Structure 1
């Protein structure tokens, strides 16, 4: 606790855990977004006459259900459509004569590239006022953004691992210069380079363990607090980036990996430096 080494490693571990958590959360969000929206098609029936609108929505649903390979076909209830529009136009706008389109949700097989064209042709023939919207097409820019941020987080983790290794190298060289006289005495007494390296390796491992635990605990506290704030928003899209238990298991491994990395880098650095001294 007296030297700067444990605290530098604590800062590195704190940032590494946050970056790794961001990468894992974004990766999970991208996967869930693809599973939920990748094959989802929305049919909108824009028709001022309520009776005609309902009839064409039923016709579009029947036409979609008749296509081979189509999954669930659901006519969205009018109350659910109003709940979706109310935050945008207000309750007063819904009470007016503003025509609200009828919506039909259709699940297409993700591996069938021609299903969308067949659906458009069948729905257009059955309901002329219907319009087929591919949700995946509208969300493609968001999916690309999430993918870019995920790889950015991976890059940050790699940079932090490299910075931690460089910190261990500098600390090992500084400790070697400080105890150069003691090392020469140990050599005169018959100690080998491996035995001397083990002394530095053990000390640096303890520093890395202490700093890694402090950094991980602080990062875990931050992630838990952020998770509560995200859960309070009630947004399914943002909430999909929450960390599952498997991701927490991967984060717990990071301090252990940090200790092993510090021990390996310290051993290699000390042995090379001792080899140049002789």
Structure 2
């Protein structure tokens, strides 16, 4: 009999009109921000992993000889020497037209005539190793090239991109920290809402206890109501986040940059994003349950 009355009276403990109070919309905002932050962190992780795998064995050889005829001769001799190196899996001498296109934004459209006339542009050889570009391999390549191309300079591609990777990793850590902070904020919002509802319905709860209702049954009422609000708010928040993520992804996709393209979300990332409202609902329900149980033990 007491449990039936609890079911009737318990429905009055917290507002039952779904998506009518502030709590569902607060949760929607939290879920949207969490999903966006998580998507940013996942995209950065994908970009870092893809870029590192692509350039891990990349080496750039620059021929710094200012005289064009000597530079051309050294480039040919360096390419022949590189082919005989044991760890070289492939190489490509970058054409002059491609070099001109790379420096055109800084020197203007007449870069070809300018470089031929007064500005010597180093010859570049893109080398791919059969494994990571370790210091020992770089030293062996440098020693082999010094004999045939004194102006050769050997650089690991991963070396000059290290500051970029460090910055991207810092942003990824920031995104993860933001997800954690938003989770704490969501739990705090639910905690405050549950305490407010308990204080506003203290007399009703006392009557429920007199009718035989237990703390667990009262907590279940709060948990169920918060769960409905969190599920509705989480769904709305995820929908908003998807609109933002897809819009930003389309804009970045139009850049055509390799590092940006490698940061595209894969199917496992979308699955994690879909779990955000579910996990948020679970967090809200557990927070409401433990908050109510803890408060009831002090109340009675």
Q: TM-score, normalised by structure 2?
A: 0.87
Corresponding residue for 1:183? 205
- Is residue 27 of structure 2 the alignment partner of residue 9 of structure 1? yes
2:223 pairs with 1:205:
no
Alignment equivalent of 1:106, drawn from 108, 117, 127: 127
8 A Cα contact 2:133 2:156, kept in partner: no
Correspondence 1:174 to 2:192: no
Shift of 1:17: 1.1
The structural deviation recorded for 1:148 is 1.0
Aligned residues: 278
CA contact (8 A) 2:88 2:128 kept: yes
Q: Which runs of 5+ in 2 are unaligned?
A: 1-18
The aligned residue for residue 5 of structure 2 is none
Go from structure 1 to structure 2 and tell me whether the alpha carbon gap of 1:132 and 1:112 turns closer, same or farther (over 3 Å shift): closer
Is residue 281 of structure 2 the alignment partner of residue 259 of structure 1? yes
| Superposition deviation, residue 51 in structure 1 | 4.5
Q: Please say if 1:62 is aligned against 2:57.
A: no
Equivalent position of 1:133 in the other structure: 155
CA distance in 1, matches of 2:266, 2:140: 38
CA distance in structure 2 between the aligned counterparts of 1:175 and 1:161, rounded to whole angstroms: 21
State how far apart, in whole Å, the 1-side matches of 2:121 and 2:135 are. 31
In the alignment, structure 1 segments of 5+ residues that lack a partner are none
Runs of 4+ deviating beyond 6 Å: none
Distance in 2 (CA, whole Å) between partners of 1:146 and 1:127 is 36
Question: 3-state DSSP class of the match of 2:87?
Answer: coil
Where do residues 1-278 of structure 1 align in structure 2 (5 Å cutoff)? 1-96=19-114, 97-98=116-117, 99-108=120-129, 109-110=131-132, 112-278=134-300
Q: CA deviation at 1:238?
A: 2.8
Displacement of 1:227: 0.8
Which structure: larger Rg? 2
Q: TM-score, normalised by structure 1?
A: 0.93
SS across alignment from 2:191: helix
Question: What do residues 120-172 of structure 1 show as CA deviations (whole Å, max 9, x unaligned)?
Answer: 11112121232222222211111111111111111111111111111111111
Deviation at 1:111, TM superposition (A): 6.7
C-alpha distance in structure 1 between counterparts of 2:54 and 2:109, whole Å: 29
